Structure 1
């Protein structure tokens, strides 16, 4: 009887383990799709009998979207977009509304002079002289008949001491062209690293790889136009671009740092940090400025020996503390171009999921009558945000916005790039 009871118990335990094993079986996902299709049962990438041509859909290994150089992952979510402090300019062009932004990537710093020099070097080799000249920043933005800033005209872009200062004097159009070049440059580099490998040395005569007999040799990457790998490989990044106004504002506020439980936030933010003060309120650096801005009329940095914000003009991109997303200088140093076309009524003509104004839909250019000088608004105005070394603290609030013609540039506007985050967040670094 005891043996029978033990036997029954063992069988029950075995069945329990089998059933629990079945229930805990991992479901297919983008990262782990399995060996067979969950729709047809056909094995992925099955080879033919002759071993020459593969059969079935080729499903490459995928470990998640690579994080491109200098990019920080920004987890999307809901936030209150718009001005949160008194509208001292009475523009009423960015009233509060609740929107949701999808997850994306953003540069942790502004694009620097060194990055731009790399861009100029590349296009000088591969593009026409005419395009190269259109890519040159306007260094005359430093000139002022009543200020002796002439030295920055010659030195700021090219002198090694300014390498990691933000590039300025670039228009919205030039910044957009940089994003396109960067997309091709990064994906071209990935093609070199992740291109197909051969198992023989047959291609040595072509100049690829080492000439040691029998060693695997790197072939020219299997690529589409521009040296880019096929998108199905997973080793290709989406396009770099300028962030939308909503993305930029969401990333600047970094409200993730104010959460304490179950989607509750302890406070709103006027600036990219907590509180209404421009100074650090605790720690060893207590009392020091948190951003590079103009403190008052004629006061750009403080007095010698203790220049509180350490920047009479721009400063290096890592000089001030990052916000809670790990982004540097989202307030101060330089203003930054965003993708959006400027319209004063954007807050009304808004989609509450990933809002953007890319053209004059629902708010046509002809309504503003620029031709008869009744307005400055047309389809060439682009939004810029963030405040700069030459701005008072008011403009450092992420909800404030200004505009400028997309072909214009100043000594106070730079930019950083953004990129969509696709599928599961990967941990890959390039």
Structure 2
């Protein structure tokens, strides 16, 4: 028979403890010594373990993006006549995003650890396709050999990376960062995140839950401990477009209406800086016109024949660099032309094959390029004209394909908050 008096005593103790607390009701950071519903003391032989939690740890390279309501969709004339991104109002939860594109040095670090921790077969599959620079009627041969590995290109965006490879990188980065965070919280040393990635790859790179322990909960990498980060991942198309708009810079304090909209990730209808000492200089790396990638010697416009330093050009109002130009960027979403009609208006995201099935598109008959393995990319590149710099424009490519004009950056949920 249940010892009712024992649990009543715990309840009284817990209630008294809660009533005596001068700091107000319990919070995630200060849950109290006793349960506010059962009165049972935490972190005892009988009670539940409640780890110390001071908020989500800082993720290397990430910038906080405050969410909210916005209007997604193309603000420019639909030159391509695709009608695939009509304007609609949505709300996005806050999230984190890399302040800059993943660079060559970051990919070389990835290859370094993959070679140590994984099979040679997977290492070879992680190599970028450097032949994306090769052109039959252009002398781009030096980029094939030097762009990825030459020290001068260290902080240029990695290219030649497919959507699938970018996802594998996100999985590895999550494991490696959480290995370090878990090691910092454990004086006994590292918890073996390199091997963690190896085990994930053996089963399924995307199958491991966010932050879950790989050793049955005995290790330090566990969601409940709060000492690790959620998954690094590719941003959703909505997140990417919202972050590129950076309309927080146009918002007046206390005004709940969004009265301004941007064609580009900066103010105005032009692609040149309108203010200060850098007036007249281009705000992004793009192709000005046929055959004009950089301007004339002595007065270069965007200053970059191909890609450029990932911290070049002014950041937008969220502190994000090159959300227009330099390289296009992969996002999570599968491509469908009518996504704006189908997706939810809260945290919209187009999943694989859900609604609008690929069978409706005649790819076998060469009447369409759409199936369940094409992904959206955004942002414009060094080889694109200014039209594609607008956040609302969108294109797609096969998830296993790569070019010299597409890179990526990572994102992460804002765990433990509804803001």
Distance 2:133 2:260 in 1: 39
The answer to whether the aligner puts 1:80 opposite 2:71 as a matched pair is yes
Using a 3 Å threshold, how does the CA distance of structure 1 residues 381 and 314 change in structure 2: closer, same or farther? same
Kindly state the Cα deviation for residue 258 of structure 1 after the two structures are TM-superposed: 0.8
Kindly state the Cα deviation for residue 387 of structure 1 after the two structures are TM-superposed: 0.2
Contact 1:194–1:221 (Cα < 8 Å) also in 2 = no
Which 5+ residue runs of structure 1 have no aligned equivalent? 1-20, 47-53, 198-217
Distance 2:164 2:23 in 1: 51
Distance 2:311 2:181 in 1: 27
- Deviating runs (4+, > 6 A) in structure 1? 21-24
What is aligned with 1:246? 238
Give the SS at the match of 2:180: helix
What is aligned with 1:102? 93
Contact 2:180–2:190 (Cα < 8 Å) also in 1 = no
What is aligned with 1:235? 227
What is aligned with 1:32? 30
The answer to whether the aligner puts 1:68 opposite 2:66 as a matched pair is no
Give the TM-score normalised by structure 1.
0.85
What is aligned with 1:406? 399
What is aligned with 2:132? 141
Distance 2:81 2:32 in 1: 58
Aligned equivalent of 1:132, options 119, 123, 127: 123
Distance 2:70 2:359 in 1: 33
Kindly state the Cα deviation for residue 33 of structure 1 after the two structures are TM-superposed: 1.3
Contact 1:137–1:169 (Cα < 8 Å) also in 2 = yes
Contact 1:44–1:59 (Cα < 8 Å) also in 2 = yes
Kindly state the Cα deviation for residue 108 of structure 1 after the two structures are TM-superposed: 0.4
Give the TM-score normalised by structure 2.
0.87
Aligned equivalent of 1:190, options 181, 196, 200: 181
Kindly state the Cα deviation for residue 55 of structure 1 after the two structures are TM-superposed: 3.4
The one-character-per-residue Cα deviations of 1:216-258 (angstroms, maximum 9, x if unpaired) are xx35659932775222111111111110000000000011111
The one-character-per-residue Cα deviations of 1:364-419 (angstroms, maximum 9, x if unpaired) are 01111211222111111100000000000000000000000001000000000011
Distance 1:219 1:393 in 2: 51
Kindly state the Cα deviation for residue 25 of structure 1 after the two structures are TM-superposed: 4.2
Give the SS at the match of 1:347: helix
Distance 1:384 1:371 in 2: 23
The answer to whether the aligner puts 1:392 opposite 2:391 as a matched pair is no
Distance 1:168 1:137 in 2: 7
Contact 2:179–2:191 (Cα < 8 Å) also in 1 = no
Kindly state the Cα deviation for residue 78 of structure 1 after the two structures are TM-superposed: 0.8
What is aligned with 1:331? 324
Distance 1:320 1:91 in 2: 30
Kindly state the Cα deviation for residue 425 of structure 1 after the two structures are TM-superposed: 9.1
Bigger radius of gyration among the two: 1
Which 5+ residue runs of structure 2 have no aligned equivalent? 1-18, 193-211
**Deviation larger for 54-63 or 68-77:** 54-63
**Count of residue correspondences:** 378
Superposed, 1:27-426 pairs within 5 Å as 27-46=25-44, 54-195=45-186, 197=187, 218=188, 221=191, 224-225=213-214, 229-260=221-252, 261-424=254-417
